[in-house]
């Protein structure tokens, strides 16, 4: 019972992160499930099955708050579903020995990306021309494949790419990515069901993650408007890097002083990224305030 409560809290925290950043549910949950001893395929399968419910709740909440661009959802979700189905099939056919370092490596790379991404200022949308399918379709395909094989990655791949395009408001990027993930989670679950059968899903874990995520989804859709993404992204990125570095070193039998040195290096990088995130947040807020003052001066 205690384990299920812990997993529910993991699902709750992961959904809060995902709803605020547009990324992080799968990466955070899969990382902790690997630490708990699940095989990579079972961890990813269980997370994606739980995500069917959490992404439906998150998408509904984002829609109610006006955070969804449906034209983007339509054009990114179907390629994402195809990529996720293919990724789930690939992971289902890998041995546990081969899959564990592969999955930990993907999660480690995504964690490093989060650290670097949120240590820099988050730009504001400046180009309002619509996004094209020739950009959204390949993005969805790659993000879906990475998501299924890594146990997470839809948000870390799709959200920054849409933000960098400068053609959508950040809140609509988060809402649209979270909403389209429902279709991706369905396709990934179908791929795991085909490759692993029902035994690939750890049902207690699925229900616990789902319960925590469902409670957090409407809260997260509101928090996306007020939570500093810089700080949350840097904090989550450091946690993911630290945890998956441990898994990688264990897989390659790295022990002793080397392990300690790696941990110290990661912690130092984590602290530096957090400090840069704080500075970037202050800089962004100062620039926004100055822009608003100029607009008021122009009006008056």
- Band (pLDDT 50/70/90 cuts) for residue 175 is confident
- Considering the chain, what percentage of its residues have pLDDT values greater than 70? 91
Q: What is the pTM of this model?
A: 0.74
Please state, in angstroms and rounded to a whole number, the distance separating the CA atoms of residues 154 and 145: 8
| Lowest mean pLDDT across 27-31, 121-125, 129-133, 192-196 | 121-125
* Residue 223 buriedness (CB in 10 A; 0-12 / 13-18 / 19+): middle
- Residue 75, pLDDT score: 94
Q: What is the mean pLDDT of residues 47-74?
A: 89
Angle at the Cα of 141 from the Cα atoms of 137 and 143, rounded to 5 degrees: 115
Q: What is the mean pLDDT of residues 48-62?
A: 87
What domain count does the chain have? 1
- Residue 30, pLDDT score: 85
- Residue 295, pLDDT score: 73
pLDDT in tens, 231-268: 777 877 887 788 788 878 877 888 888 899 999 999 99
Q: Which residues form the domain of 158?
A: 2-299
pLDDT at 225 over 70: no
* Residue 82 buriedness (CB in 10 A; 0-12 / 13-18 / 19+): middle
- Residue 194, pLDDT score: 92
Looking at per-residue pLDDT, the higher value among 97 and 245 belongs to 245
Q: What is the mean pLDDT of residues 96-123?
A: 77
C-beta separation of 138 from 185 below 8 A: no
CB burial readout 116-140, b (16+ within 10 A) else e: ebbbebbeeeeeeeebeeeebbebb
């Amino acid at each position: 019972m205690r384990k299920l409560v812990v997993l529910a809290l993991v699902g709750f925290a992961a959904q809060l992160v995902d709803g605020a950043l547009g990324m992080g549910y799968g990466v955070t949950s899969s990382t902790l499930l690997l630490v708990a001893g699940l095989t990579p395929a079972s961890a990813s399968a269980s997370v994606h099955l739980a995500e069917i419910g959490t992404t439906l709740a998150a998408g509904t909440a984002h829609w109610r708050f006006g955070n969804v661009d449906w034209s983007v959802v339509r054009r990114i979700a179907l390629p994402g579903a195809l990529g996720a189905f293919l990724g789930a099939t690939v992971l289902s056919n890998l041995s546990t020995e081969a899959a564990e370092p592969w999955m930990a490596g993907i999660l480690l790379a995504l964690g490093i990306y989060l650290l670097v991404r949120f240590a820099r200022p988050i730009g504001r949308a400046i180009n309002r021309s619509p996004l094209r399918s020739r950009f959204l379709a390949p993005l969805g395909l790659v993000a879906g494949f990475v998501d299924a094989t890594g146990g997470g990655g839809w948000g870390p791949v799709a959200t920054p790419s849409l933000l960098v395009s400068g053609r959508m408001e950040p809140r609509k990027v988060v809402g649209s990515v979270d909403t389209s993930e429902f279709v991706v989670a369905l396709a990934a679950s179908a791929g795991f069901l085909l490759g692993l059968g029902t035994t690939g899903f750890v049902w207690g874990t699925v229900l616990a993650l789902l319960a925590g995520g469902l409670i957090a989804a409407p809260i997260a859709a509101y928090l996306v408007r007020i939570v500093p993404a810089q700080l949350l992204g840097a904090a989550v990125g450091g946690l993911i890097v630290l945890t998956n570095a441990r898994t990688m070193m264990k897989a390659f039998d790295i022990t002793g002083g080397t392990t300690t040195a790696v941990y110290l290096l990661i912690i130092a990088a984590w602290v530096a990224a957090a400090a840069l995130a704080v500075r970037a947040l202050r800089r962004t807020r100062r620039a926004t305030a100055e822009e608003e003052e100029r607009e008021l001066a122009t009006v008056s």
